[in-house]
Structure 1
Amino acid sequence: MRTSSLISEAPSPVHRFVVGLDGEGHWIARDETGLTGGVFADRSAAIHFAETQCNHREGAIRLAPANARLSLFN
């Protein structure tokens, strides 16, 4: 699977979005400041939303660890 240069696996101070699964297996893209986010049908849709929201800025998106469960509300 190809990973965009806009996405990183490690924490960084420039991240704006985190993308990962919630407890029910839905894909979540969430602004790390809590300003915006959504639930998506698949990983690519969540990433596309995050990329669009951060104007395709490099390093602005990070993937949550596989064992993490995201929520739009925390």
Structure 2
Amino acid sequence: MRNSLISEPPSASHRFLVGRDGEGHWIARDELGLTGGVFADKASAIHFAETESDHKAGCVSLAPDGAQLSLFN
């Protein structure tokens, strides 16, 4: 019988959003603001996000066209 008072450990993966900032740099950041970075190209940003989210399906999303991302919001 499982004790319902014991919580499961938090997931090792994060959900990421990938897009450009106002200066055209590629940004990947997790939804909790715990990790992210600025990248030279889209492929590098997506690779980072996929690696950080343990390659789980649905954990990486592209920002809508025209949206400007920031690491700080």
1:58 is paired with a residue of what secondary structure?
Answer: coil
2:48 is paired with a residue of what secondary structure?
Answer: helix
Shift of 1:66: 1.1
User: Larger relative CO (CA 8 A, sep 6+): 1 or 2?
Assistant: 1
Q: Which residue in the other structure is 1:62 paired with?
A: 61
Q: Percent identity?
A: 72
Query: Given the two structures, how large is their TM-score scaled by the length of structure 1?
Result: 0.79
Q: Which residue in the other structure is 2:19 paired with?
A: 20
Shift of 1:22: 0.1
Q: Alpha carbon RMSD of aligned pairs, Å? A: 0.9
Query: Given the two structures, how large is their TM-score scaled by the length of structure 2?
Result: 0.80
Larger radius of gyration: 2
Q: Distance in 1 between matches of 2:65 and 2:40?
A: 17
Instruction: Count residues with an aligned counterpart.
Output: 60
Instruction: Name segments (4+ residues, structure 1) moved above 4 Å.
Output: none
Deviations 1:20-55 (A, max 9, x none): 000000000000100000000000000000000000
